[in-house]
Structure 1
Amino acid sequence: MKAITIKQPWATLIALGEKKFETRSWQTKHRGALAIHAGKTVDKEACEDSWIKGVLAEYGITSWKQLPTGIVIATVNLVDCHKVGLSVGSVVCTSGPMIQGLEYEFGDYTEGRYAWEFTNLEVLPEPITAKGKLSLWEWDKEAIS
């Protein structure tokens, strides 16, 4: 299965079902199953953002130290990569859906980037330790890293 390593707190926001788009500077032709790997890096400054902090607190996460790292925490279905267009206030147009609200707050919707759309979230009952990599990478959920 393909996997992508995502910094915290964004990996957790995806696993909580609060973030359905991941923004990247690049697109991919891959469509289908994708494992979400919480990287070892935590953006502590982002964890202090009022939007992110508030949502995490709703799930009992009150400190960046509670965020899991170095593990695969969920799988999703990558359905499309939408090119980001112009933003008007806190609404952004893409080549697909318009993005607004918390979803807008949880990404970098700079014009020219890509919004990867995720559906069919499945949180793993037991997270699996794995070593992350750059770009998309192959993850064998049967192998323990």
Structure 2
Amino acid sequence: MRGTSIKQPWTTAILTGAKTIENRPQRWSWRTRVLLHAGQQTDRPALRLPLVARTIGDCQLVTGAGVGIARITDCHQDHDGAPLCSPWAHPGAWHLELADVHSLPLTVPARGQLGPWKPTTDLPGQVFEQLPGFRP
């Protein structure tokens, strides 16, 4: 399993199921399950965006922890001049398509890094212990 760190409030928007696109500066070739890690930083200006505010409501914005898992199903860029694939998509970015999102009942403190990273050997066990019905 790999991990990806995402700043808040974007991580929480993914966990709600509303944000199915994660914007990245470069293409990702993975099509696999990933640990969603809420990074240490919060994108404060994003908290004032109506789409974000409606989506996250009064959810707690945890940072520095594994908060869920998701499956990357595709990575694409929208064609110049074409409508964006999602209200969450940024023009010119690569869009990771996320599906099968599962929130963890308890967050798992962890260090991550922006972009893809490999979790410590014990981290996946701590995650799957909280999702007994889940089968990778």
Q: State the TM-score, normalized to the length of structure 1.
A: 0.77
Percent identity of paired positions between Structure 1 and Structure 2: 26
Tell me the distance in 1 between the aligned counterparts of 2:75 and 2:54.
28
Q: Which residues of structure 1 form unaligned runs of 5+?
A: 93-98
- Classify 1:42/1:129 alpha carbon distance in 2 versus 1 (closer, same or farther; 3 Å): same
Correspondence 1:134 to 2:117: no
Which residue does the alignment assign to 1:96? none
Query: 1:41: how far off?
Result: 0.5
Helix, strand or coil: the match of 1:47?
A: helix
Q: Give, in whole Å, the separation in 2 of the partners of 1:11 and 1:137.
A: 16
User: Which secondary structure state, in structure 1, belongs to the residue aligned with residue 3 of structure 2?
Assistant: strand
* Runs of 4+ off more than 2 Å: 140-144
- Unpaired runs of at least 5, structure 2: 128-136
- How far residue 135 of structure 1 moved from its aligned partner, in angstroms, is 2.1
Residue deviations 1:77-109, cap 9 Å, x none?
Answer: 111101222345xx32xxxxxx2xxx42x332x
Say if 2:63 is the partner of 1:69.
yes
Distance change in 2, residues 1:81/1:51 (3 Å): same
Amino acid at match of 1:14: I
Higher strand share: 1
The 5 Å alignment of 1:109-128 reads 110-111=91-92, 113-128=93-108
Two-structure CA RMSD over aligned residues (Å): 1.8
Query: Could you say if the C-alpha distance between residues 17 and 143 of structure 1 is closer, same or farther in structure 2, counting changes exceeding 3 Å?
Result: closer
Paired positions, count: 124
In structure 1, what is the equivalent of residue 11 of structure 2?
11
TM, length-normalised to structure 2? 0.82
